[in-house]
Amino acid sequence: MNRALLFAGGLVGFVILLGLYTSFYFVNQTENALVLQFGAPQAVITDPGLHFKTPLTQSVLFFDKRVLLLEAPTEEVISSDKKRMMVDAFARWQITDPLRFYQTLQDHDRAISTLTSLLSSSVRRVLGSQSFADVLSAKRAALMRDIRAAMNQETAGSGIRIVDVRILHADLPQANSEAIFSRMQKERQREAAEYRAEGDETAQRIRARAAREVTVLTAEATRESEILRGEGDAEKTRILGEAYSQDPEFFAFYRTMQAYQDTFAGGSTTVVLSPDSDFLKYFGKGPGGGK
């Protein structure tokens, strides 16, 4: 009997302790709590610390109130100018109302699935209305804000808020990138060929101009030299004429002596002339023709 009473008392004490243990729960600073009674929401607890609930009939769900990360898979988007893009994007979101979040999305996993689908569709809709150049330009920041606004509009009343949306990459598919790179390479080669052709044309023009200038300068120099040579010959003739006029006989004798020197310079020259030739008139005679 005593042992039975002791067992019953111990069992009652254990039940009481278990009831007391399950009556308290702790809310972390990074969490909000939702108290449920038989699955129906009863209260939202936002204050951190130790709280009390009715044992057995009430349960508590905890929701992270920090900003959470949502990563979406790579999406293929067709821009307004019919360019295919591979887009990587992510979003940051936060649970602002645990009660509405529980009523619409229930738990974190379902929220991730819904938001991933919503992010993908918003990215395709917003980026698909823009050209590829706009997506790559400074306009991207405005496009990210448009995606965030579209997601917040879709999730209104769900107890969550999209804090930010970012586009990591927006590139062409590999095959398109290679084709564009090849086209750009050919374009650069064409431009290089044009520059080389222009350079060759300019070089030929410069060489032709230089050759023409050389020809003109040479002709001018030749003309000047001929003029100077003519003037020198004229001056020489004038001087010789003046000298000849002063003593014609001596001048004739001097010129004849120069002719003898030029003619008989080798020492073995044979000249056949008449003894009465004018060229030999000074042989054996003086300047006046005397013996």
Nearest to 69 by CA among 112, 32, 33: 112
Q: Is residue 290 over pLDDT 50?
A: no
Q: What's the pTM value of the predicted model, to 2 decimals?
A: 0.53
pLDDT tens for each residue of 29-47? 888 888 888 878 888 888 8
Tell me which residue of 44, 52, 89, 42 sits closest to 69, measured CA to CA.
Answer: 89
Instruction: Give CA–CA dist 65/31, Å, rounded.
Output: 5
Please report, for the chain, the start and end positions of each structural domain, with discontinuous segments joined by +.
18-64, 68-172, 249-291
In angstroms, the CA 36 to CA 9 distance is: 31
Amino acid at 130: Q
- The Cβ-side half-sphere exposure at 144, using a 13 Å CA radius, reads 20
198: CB partners within 8 A, 6+ apart: none
Decide if pLDDT at 271 tops 70: no
Q: Which of 89, 122, 93 is nearest to 105 (CA)?
A: 93
Express each pLDDT in 85-99 by its tens digit: 888 889 999 998 888
Q: Which of 43-52, 83-92, 221-230, 261-270 is modeled with the greatest confidence?
A: 221-230
What does the H/E/C string look like for 118-161? HHHHHHHHHHHCCCHHHHHCCCHHHHHHHHHHHHHHHCCCCCEE
- Which range among 13-27, 115-129, 221-235, 244-258 shows the weakest confidence by mean pLDDT? 13-27
Q: Is the pLDDT of residue 274 over 80?
A: no
Query: In sequence order, what DSSP letters do the residues of 35-75 get, joined into one string?
Result: EEETTEEEEEE-S-EEEE--TTTEEEEEEE-S-EEEEPPPE
**CATH 3.90.45.10 for domain 68-172:** no
| Residue carrying structure tokens 């991207």 | 140
Assess whether pLDDT exceeds 60 at residue 154: yes
